[in-house]
Every structure is written in C-alpha cells, then in structure tokens.
Amino acid sequence: MGSTTTGSLALAGLAALGLAGCGGLYVSPLAPPPYRAEIPAAYDRAWAALVRALARENVPLRAIARDSGVIASDDFVAPIGVYADCGRLGDDRVEGEALVAFTIFVERDTRTTQVQVNAKMRTQAHRKGGSGTLRPTPVYPCASTGRFEANLLDAVRDLVRE
C-alpha cells in the first residue's frame, strides 16, 4: 500500500510541474528610480502650478499637504503601456488596464523647487498580448514608463512661466 501512495504522489507532482510549464513565465519590468526634477521657480509658485497641472490632468487626489510638500493621488485607471509597464507573459506583453497612484514630494531650494514623484502600479484587468478577454487575476506589479511624470512636470514648468 505504501508504494501506491508514493507512486500517486510522484505522478501528481509530475502533472503539476507539467501544467506549471505550460502557464508561461511572467517577466516583471524593472522598476525605475523615483522621478526627480527641478522647477525654476520659488516654492509657492511651483506648488500652485503643480496643483493646477494635476487638476488639468483630472488626477484624483487623496491627500494634499502644502506645509509638508506632499501630494498623494488615489488609484486611477490607465491603459497599460501609457503610464504603466506591466512586463511580459512569455514572449507577449501584458496588455489591458493598470491601477496607477503617485506620491509627489515638493521641497524648497534656494531659488528653485525640487520635485520627486514616486509611482505605485499594478494590473487591474489584463491579458497576454492582444488575445483573449481581460482578466482581473492574477494581479501583476507594474513599473512606471515615466510619461506621466515627464508630462506633468513639463506642464508645471509651462505654468510657472505664465
């Protein structure tokens, strides 16, 4: 009786390994460092421009604290590939929708203002390549493409010049 139990377990283990091999390997994107930039304006002017730029982009805000220089967004949905890189499943890119959130730190400098943007992203609904329907699970971590940050700070620089 012991040998049949051991044989059954070995067969089940081989079957599990075979199915796991068919699932495809998930390759996570490399997370870039936080986005840092300098705004050529005093803190008050840069802060006002940053808040206006976020309003124009319709970014939902969770917290805004001018005295500590922190702005945190709520999660919002963005197409994968625009603001979020969610990696690959085998040879195909992960496509669909990502939940994106940003935390912005603003710091006074002598005549300029230093800004750092931290990003947190994950899949909400995804598929392998362009095939199939969108699925909510499993949830994969994503990395920022840097587009949101660069566009936001370009808009802030333009608003500061006005």
Residues 40-97: pLDDT tens digits? 999 999 999 999 999 999 999 999 999 999 999 999 999 999 999 999 988 889 999 9
CATH number at residue 38: 3.30.530
- Quick one: which of 145, 99, 104, 152 has its CA closest to 122? 99
In a domain? residue 57: yes
pTM of the model: 0.79
Phi first, then psi, for residue 130 (nearest 5°) are -95, 10
> pLDDT band for position 19 (50/70/90)?
very low
Residue 14 lies in a domain: no
Query: Is the residue at 45 inside a domain?
Result: yes
Q: Is residue 97 part of a domain?
A: yes
Q: Residue 104: pLDDT above 50?
A: yes
Instruction: Report yes or no on 13 lying in a domain.
Output: no
The string over 93-108, giving b where at least 16 C-beta atoms fall within 10 Å of a residue's C-beta and e elsewhere, is bbbbbbbbbbbbbbee
Alpha helices per DSSP H over the chain: 2-22, 43-56, 147-161
Inside any domain, residue 65: yes
- pLDDT at position 20, please? 45
Residue 18 has pLDDT above 50, yes or no: no
What pLDDT is attached to residue 12?
54
With a cut of 90, say whether residue 22 has pLDDT above it: no
What pLDDT is attached to residue 32?
81
The token pair at 76 is 């919002």
Residue 98's domain comprises 24-161
Query: Token pair of 72, please?
Result: 């945190």
Asked whether residue 36 is assigned to any structural domain, the reply reads yes
Asked if residue 18 belongs to a domain, the reply is no
Structure confidence by residue, pLDDT tens digits, 129-150 = 877 889 889 999 999 999 999 9
Instruction: Please state, in angstroms and rounded to a whole number, the distance separating the CA atoms of residues 105 and 115.
Output: 6
Tokens, residue 104 = 């912005």
- Within 8 A by CB and 6+ apart from 94, the residues are 80, 86, 87, 88, 123, 126, 127, 128, 140
Number of domains forming the structure of the chain: 1
47/54 Cα distance (integer angstroms): 11
